[in-house]
Structure 1
């Protein structure tokens, strides 16, 4: 069974952070590590995935061990669907080899020649023909994780290469890295590179990793702060976000009347305050999204500090909105039935939602059976960063689909 990984100071899972912010490993070491129900669910899901791969040809052995895993308090039937997708994908890849490849699950790998004391666990390693394959299962459904350019996957690959190259020698010419995240997409994310390119990448990041390991490093706030344990107390992050005050002189304090000129030359000639340019709006949107995230992190830290008995001057924690509930629904309904109320008024019969049905069937089977019975109208306009992979909004298509795409110029 997969066990919770003991994390290295500079491991694979936090590489995206310390390769950008070399100060993060030393800084966050002063804050206690924590776990969550989502992490525990992920560990259980990984165990089921491992079991499916190890016993894919032995149904009896799978059933026996699976019964034990299903007793876990966090077990969900959806985990079986996800594990089957994960296993099927790996077995399908195995069929594409000239000869049956070697398949190893939960492999501890060491990449300390690149990252000091670096180690991690590969969910699955497959070696055959001239390729080394690394498979990683992600149980999360909040954010899609891309395998392309992923430093975690590359470090796993370097560790696996160091472990198996003495046995396979120079027959391994290329490395394939696959992330399987079935709760988000039925299609895995894949990346491939030559062994030479992978080793060259390791050489490039080595000095960065050494700096991160030795500390104190350089603070570089950004999107990678999301899972840093010290994100709420990082002064560098606070400095970046409070630097928005630099824009104070160019941000209008009140609403601009609709009849005022829009170009800055005319406004300045009339003695009016210079309006924000579209370029400045773009910069503020980019910086503002990190400001919102930072403020939410501050609130979360402050609330937990107060709940733990600490004090945040000027703030307190109160009880939020409460939702009423029967302490015994069956007893309450029996009271109503005895009082003469028809049982039919106490229950609603309704179909499960499309999303819930997809979860129960699995994305692939759901698509096979029901794809031609699904309407997918265009969603409402949503402003996102230009790096988003979705196609730009099409107003004409939205109008055709019945979506109101009005854009209000004067807000």
Structure 2
């Protein structure tokens, strides 16, 4: 399937997190072009590779090794191709194999399947990466190539809409009691699984019906927030988001307060200010685009940033310097080793570990502040009594 040429619904599954939370955003977004980025194109390329491998695994007769190799070679000619995609998509395929073989239940696999959930959200449809239909179980498996924010399968609107659509499509042949949602995000080692009953899924469907009715009409209340605004095409100039962030940034509590904030205050301010920072960055990017297009933004202008110099012909310049007596190899060139990450990328993770893994030590990273919901283990500089006595010995 040509992933970049897919149609997109107004009420898409991939955008459900946004239009369910903020119904009028669906119509508001229609005024803006659907742009892409290198990261998005890279993700599309990885998805195409993943699809080829899964298709070869389940439908070897129709899509055998020769067809697979030819299709992979074609993808390898793309400018955004990276060899590491092979390893990451192998992890995705291995996960699907495990799910497919579990419980010894024979099932059917649907790959890159367009599912229609229009019964719940008018005109709504999306493309599920992999569906496994196993007796009374429906497995919805999603491959995510992003490495920014870990995505959870728990009550994930996109995945639940796929499940609703698949339930409607295959309801004549199957009766599903269990709906298993899986997200595999291999670049950050994130695997998330969640299971719900048919009753829970239909309860979600009723909620979708209510919210989608508002979204189709551009009705309901705007509800700006970090999650729903992240990928909204109107996020830079949405008035509701602007007013909410101005309120968060400049509103003050009434009444007499202590001169110093508490740790509780600090935590609250950090949470409130998260989207303020993102909003200002989005707004500046939009304003720069307006100024460059000749549309003035009151009080602001676009200027040329600090430039850089580059050689027109480095070989010719170095040759001339060498003729003047400058030792080319000793002075003009600097020998630098590849970084550990570059060597690992060159060899691949497994070969790198087998060859030189014994020479690698992982140093602790610089402390970073994250939300309490982050899965990373908390650290502290506080020394325990045991550590203190171990360091100091007897006195």
TM bucket, shorter chain: 0.7 to 0.9
Corresponding position: 1:122 with 2:128: yes
Q: 2:152, 2:7 → 1: CA distance?
A: 24
- Root mean square deviation of aligned Cα: 2.9
Corresponding position: 1:378 with 2:379: no
Q: What is the aligned partner in structure 1 of residue 32 from structure 2? A: 31
Kindly state the Cα deviation for residue 226 of structure 1 after the two structures are TM-superposed. 1.4
Q: What is the aligned partner in structure 1 of residue 220 from structure 2? A: 217
Q: 1:52-67 counterparts in 2 under 5 A?
A: 52-56=53-57, 57=60, 58-67=64-73
Q: 1:192, 1:370 → 2: CA distance?
A: 41
Kindly state the Cα deviation for residue 153 of structure 1 after the two structures are TM-superposed. 0.9
Q: 1:369, 1:192 → 2: CA distance?
A: 40
Corresponding position: 1:240 with 2:225: no
Q: 2:382, 2:266 → 1: CA distance?
A: 26
SS at match of 1:132: strand
Kindly state the Cα deviation for residue 228 of structure 1 after the two structures are TM-superposed. 0.9
Q: What is the aligned partner in structure 1 of residue 310 from structure 2? A: 325
Corresponding position: 1:307 with 2:303: no
Q: Tell me, which stretches of 5 or more residues in structure 2 are unaligned?
A: 388-395
Kindly state the Cα deviation for residue 345 of structure 1 after the two structures are TM-superposed. 5.0
Q: What is the aligned partner in structure 1 of residue 390 from structure 2? A: none
**Do the aligned partners of residues 287 and 121 (structure 1) sit closer, same or farther apart at CA in structure 2, a change above 3 Å counting?**
same
Q: What is the aligned partner in structure 1 of residue 8 from structure 2? A: 7
CA contact (8 A) 1:115 1:210 kept: yes
Kindly state the Cα deviation for residue 120 of structure 1 after the two structures are TM-superposed. 0.3
SS at match of 1:280: helix
Kindly state the Cα deviation for residue 315 of structure 1 after the two structures are TM-superposed. 1.0
| Bigger mean CA deviation after superposition, 6-15 or 211-220 | 211-220
Q: Tell me, which stretches of 5 or more residues in structure 1 are unaligned?
A: 252-262, 265-273, 402-411
Kindly state the Cα deviation for residue 151 of structure 1 after the two structures are TM-superposed. 0.7
Q: What is the aligned partner in structure 2 of residue 157 from structure 1? A: 163
1:26-56 CA distance string (max 9 Å, x none): 2222222222222222222211111111124
1:333-377 CA distance string (max 9 Å, x none): 444555552436555554433334454566677677776654334
Q: What is the aligned partner in structure 2 of residue 188 from structure 1? A: 191
Q: 1:143, 1:232 → 2: CA distance?
A: 20
**Do the aligned partners of residues 306 and 387 (structure 1) sit closer, same or farther apart at CA in structure 2, a change above 3 Å counting?**
same
CA contact (8 A) 1:23 1:215 kept: yes
| Bigger mean CA deviation after superposition, 368-377 or 279-288 | 368-377
Q: 1:356, 1:139 → 2: CA distance?
A: 20
Residue 201 (structure 1) aligned to one of 186, 200, 204: 204
Q: 1:240-389 counterparts in 2 under 5 A?
A: 240-243=244-247, 244-247=249-252, 264=258, 274-337=259-322, 341-343=327-329, 345-359=331-345, 374-389=360-375
Corresponding position: 1:392 with 2:378: yes
**Do the aligned partners of residues 379 and 111 (structure 1) sit closer, same or farther apart at CA in structure 2, a change above 3 Å counting?**
same
Kindly state the Cα deviation for residue 144 of structure 1 after the two structures are TM-superposed. 1.8
Q: What is the aligned partner in structure 1 of residue 89 from structure 2? A: 83
**Do the aligned partners of residues 366 and 166 (structure 1) sit closer, same or farther apart at CA in structure 2, a change above 3 Å counting?**
farther
Q: What is the aligned partner in structure 2 of residue 260 from structure 1? A: none
SS at match of 2:71: helix
- Provide TM-score, normalisation by structure 1: 0.82
Q: 2:130, 2:91 → 1: CA distance?
A: 14
SS at match of 2:172: helix
Kindly state the Cα deviation for residue 148 of structure 1 after the two structures are TM-superposed. 1.7
Q: 2:212, 2:192 → 1: CA distance?
A: 26
CA contact (8 A) 1:97 1:128 kept: no
SS at match of 1:120: strand
CA contact (8 A) 2:318 2:328 kept: no
Residue 178 (structure 1) aligned to one of 174, 178, 182: 182
Q: 2:261, 2:303 → 1: CA distance?
A: 39
SS at match of 1:113: coil
CA contact (8 A) 1:131 1:176 kept: yes
